[in-house]
């Protein structure tokens, strides 16, 4: 697996999503890196295990971006210009849902969540949409923010 995206799911593990397999074929598969049950502290490879996880509904071409918010993981691909997004509901047994109302026709370069808003950087502008945690609700209207230079968006949690 190369070219995948990884996202931290608090108190659960790190989920590795998509990417490319042999012959550069896109992957739907996901794998969870998690602590072995009963293991606490320490470090090293012996305390971790790889587990297969629910595959995405479809393959996505190009570099992926992912963000975690209230028990859900949002995934989108740069090459699909925001036409396809999937959401994994971790709290509902790992079910993937295709979000067809994403509605940004832009090549995407980065994605992050801050507060209850999902931000994407697409062709020099930042766009945001409010998330309410309802898996059945479609996205609201995207708000166009300021023009910014290209670079990654990221969320940093400080304690």
Per-residue three-class SS string for 60-75: CCCCEEEEEECCEEEE
Tokens of 82: 């925001």
Confidence of residue 144 (pLDDT cuts 50, 70, 90): confident
First to last CA, the chain: 33
Does residue 116 or residue 8 have the better pLDDT? 8
Mean pLDDT of 122-128: 80
C-alpha distances out from residue 69 to 2, 86, 109, 120, 123, Å: 25, 13, 19, 14, 24
* pLDDT of the residue at 17: 94
Q: In this predicted structure, what is the pLDDT of residue 136?
A: 59
pLDDT in tens, 2-46: 888 999 999 899 999 998 888 888 899 999 999 887 655 555 556
Give mean pLDDT, residues 130-153: 69
- Compute the mean pLDDT over every residue in the chain, rounded to the nearest whole number: 80
pLDDT grade, residue 51 (50/70/90)?
very high
Question: Above pLDDT 70, what percent of the chain?
Answer: 75
Query: Is-contact 112 145, C-beta < 8 A?
Result: no
Fold of 5-147: Neuraminidase (2.120.10)
The pLDDT of residue 83: 61
Q: Which residues are within 8 A (CB) of 93 and not within 5 positions of it... i.e. 6 or more apart?
A: none
**Mean pLDDT computed over 120-144:** 73
Buried-exposed string 21-30: b where 16+ CB fall within 10 A, e elsewhere: eeeeebbbbb
CA dist 9 and 26 (Å) reads 23
Report the DSSP beta bridge partners of residue 14: 8, 33
Closest-CA residue to 67 (of 83, 81, 86, 95): 86
What ranges do the domains of the chain cover? 5-147
């Amino acid at each position: 697996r190369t070219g995948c995206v990884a996202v931290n799911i608090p108190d659960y593990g790190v989920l590795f999503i998509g990417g490319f397999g042999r012959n550069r074929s896109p992957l739907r598969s996901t794998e969870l890196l998690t602590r072995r049950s009963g293991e606490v502290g320490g470090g090293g490879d012996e305390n971790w295990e790889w587990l297969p996880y629910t595959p995405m509904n479809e393959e996505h071409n190009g570099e992926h971006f992912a963000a975690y918010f209230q028990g859900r993981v949002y995934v989108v691909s740069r090459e699909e210009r925001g036409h396809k997004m999937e959401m994994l509901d971790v709290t509902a047994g790992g079910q993937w849902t295709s979000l067809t109302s994403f509605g940004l026709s832009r090549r995407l370069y980065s994605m992050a969540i801050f507060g209850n808003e999902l931000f994407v950087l697409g062709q020099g502008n930042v766009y945001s949409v409010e998330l309410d945690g309802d898996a059945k609700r479609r996205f609201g209207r995207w708000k166009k923010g300021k023009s910014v230079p290209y670079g990654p968006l990221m969320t940093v949690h400080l304690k």
